[in-house]
Structure 1
Amino acid sequence: MSVVPILQALLLLTLANGAPVVAKKVFGSRFALPLDAGALLFDGRPVFGTSKTVRGILASVVATAIGAALLGLHYELGSLVAIVAMAGDLFASFLKRRLNLPSSSQAIGLDQVPESLFPLLACRVALSLSYADIFVAVWIFFVGELAISRILYILRVRDQPY
């Protein structure tokens, strides 16, 4: 198991997934353009929902690129992690809308696994991660996000305690 690459990956994942939450807190409803522009699919449900915004994607990419550079990694790697993490998050949101779950609702596993597994697979070679490392990192991210989310809720950074 490679401890340093796992830690680097976890820091990048935390930035990628945390930046949209912080941006929402900082900017409120400003710049909160829904990524799906309010479009509905054939099932009458939103593509992603109102909580998935252009602001969140941009915040994720910028913060994670800067974070990667500060870790001594290429900013492109940080951008890749952010883009793929956001793709995983959008995938989960798309599935949750199809399951008729409300925007920002909790779906344990679906809310954590795609946004950590997808980017880890995408940057596996760049970070020299084995598949065992990826498994460990996804597990740590899963447990950590559930724990940190509650703390952020208590601190009023998050709107919901998951």
Structure 2
Amino acid sequence: MTAPAFHWTSIIHASILLLVANGAPIIAYKLMGKRFAWPVDHGLCLGDRQPVFGRSKTWRGIAFSAGLSGCVAILLGFSFWLGMLFGLLAMSGDLLASFIKRRRGWVESSRARGLDTVPESLLPLWFLRHSMALEWPDITVVMVLFFMIEEFLSPILFRLHIRKRPY
């Protein structure tokens, strides 16, 4: 049995887009505060009396994620539309994680290792794997890298007053 061949350029490009897509809402908040921060769920609560997603999931965050990912994709040699779709898929995964956390009764922005990184990384990587020349071993590497970066970078960003929480 041979070891899998990794596509390191594709892994690096996907990792950059993943970091941009997930960092864009934080940048938007730092630049704009609460302006234009309309919640995706419009404050709607379901039968469990929990919000669908929560106040921190905003249309502005999704728009910034899609737009900034599109611009960075161009710099990486992809189309704007691929980058935009990457950002939208990453935010869809983030919304899915928030939806699951609300259904479990966890408070907004609570930490859930794995759940906080897997959907938002797996969705864009899986859907765009052919366009980005990613194989399953590459996707696994990107997901593990993203998890590790989130684990180690988040406390640093918190100390620098970029993130609200150390996770």
* TM-score interval for Structure 1 and Structure 2 normalised by the shorter chain: over 0.9
Given residue 74 of structure 2, which amino acid in structure 1 is its aligned partner? A
DSSP 3-state at the match of 1:51: coil
Runs of 4 or more above 6 Å deviation: none
Aligned ranges 1:4-153 → 2 under 5 Å: 4-153=9-158
Q: Deviations over 1:100-138 (max 9, x none)?
A: 111111111100111001110011000111101101110
Q: Distance in 2 between matches of 1:92 and 1:130?
A: 24
**TM-score (normalised: structure 1):** 0.98
Unaligned runs of 5+ in 1: none
Larger-gyration structure (1/2): 2
Q: Distance in 2 between matches of 1:18 and 1:81?
A: 13
Q: CA RMSD in A?
A: 0.7
Q: Distance in 1 between matches of 2:61 and 2:156?
A: 21
Q: Distance in 1 between matches of 2:154 and 2:60?
A: 20
Q: What is the percent sequence identity of the aligned residues?
A: 48
Unaligned runs of 5+ in 2: 1-5
Q: Distance in 2 between matches of 1:4 and 1:41?
A: 43
**TM-score (normalised: structure 2):** 0.95
